[in-house]
Amino acid sequence: MGSLSSLLVNPKDSYILGLWGADRYLRTSSIGLSNTNKVLVKRFSEFLLTRFPSHRLRLRIYGSDDSLEFSDFRKSYCKVSKNKLTAFHIYVNCRSLVREFLWSLENRNLLNKESLFSYFAGRFDGDGSVSTGTRKFFRIVYGNVDDVRKDLNLLKDYAVSLYRYKKANTYCLYFSEKTLENFIDKLKPYSLKLQ
């Protein structure tokens, strides 16, 4: 790539990179987001609409909730009895966008300071949680060890612990209370969950 992707230098797009890193949908020529949170699906579709006309986007709905306002998108419905929540799957067919996302995620160490926090806000919104009780914890869940280690390397200024949950086959980054408030303050302008 000649110049850096907007996914690495534009905070709004870096948020999308983090969100996609958390809840990605990826096929050979398709890229998108799978989530039950309508707000996050809408936010990802807004990013796609900055690059593609609406008729290029596809929306698959797993369940019966059709309250998302996507009138121009091609929709397909999949009735699934196991899901309690309706899941939304928004995607577009575009090999060059697939390559851009994969390259950007692999090279996330090139994120500038502002984009770094928006990236982690997207990660948190997709696969993170924060406690509301007296004892605060803040964590982000990952599905593979390479992914979590790359993000851990980006957080050298923060007290962060890595835990592996063998039964669930997941990894979690837990943020220490020492640096947690500072980190949350940096994410708040970008995170939809923390606002």
Write the CATH number for 161.
3.10.28.10
pLDDT for 71:
60
pLDDT for 180:
86
Q: Mean per-residue pLDDT for 82-87?
A: 75
136 and 47 within one domain: no
124 and 91 within one domain: no
Q: Mean per-residue pLDDT for 63-88?
A: 70
- Kindly tell me if the per-residue pLDDT of 21 is higher than 50: yes
**Comparing C-alpha atoms, which of 7, 85, 1, 8 is closest to residue 48?**
7
Strand blocks (E) in the chain: 24-26, 30-35, 57-62, 74-78, 87-93, 128-130, 138-142, 160-165, 170-175
144 and 78 within one domain: no
Q: How many domains does the chain have?
A: 2
Considering the domain boundaries, does residue 151 fall inside one? yes
- pLDDT confidence bin for 116, thresholds 50/70/90: very high
Q: Mean per-residue pLDDT for 143-160?
A: 92
Handedness of CA 188, 190, 191, 195 (dihedral sign): positive
Q: Is 120 helix (H, G, I), strand (E, B) or coil?
A: helix
- Kindly tell me if the per-residue pLDDT of 1 is higher than 50: no
Q: Mean per-residue pLDDT for 66-85?
A: 67
Q: Mean per-residue pLDDT for 56-73?
A: 75
- Kindly tell me if the per-residue pLDDT of 117 is higher than 80: yes
pLDDT tens digit sequence for 157-171: 888 999 999 999 999
97 and 56 within one domain: yes
- Kindly tell me if the per-residue pLDDT of 12 is higher than 90: yes
78 and 19 within one domain: yes
Q: Which of 73, 90, 106 is the last residue of a domain?
A: 106
Domain that holds residue 46: 6-106
Whole-prediction pTM value?
Answer: 0.91
- Kindly tell me if the per-residue pLDDT of 63 is higher than 90: no
Question: Hey, which residues does 160 pair with through a beta bridge?
Answer: 175
144 and 63 within one domain: no
pLDDT for 65:
67
Q: Mean per-residue pLDDT for 131-147?
A: 85
pLDDT for 69:
64
Considering the domain boundaries, does residue 193 fall inside one? no
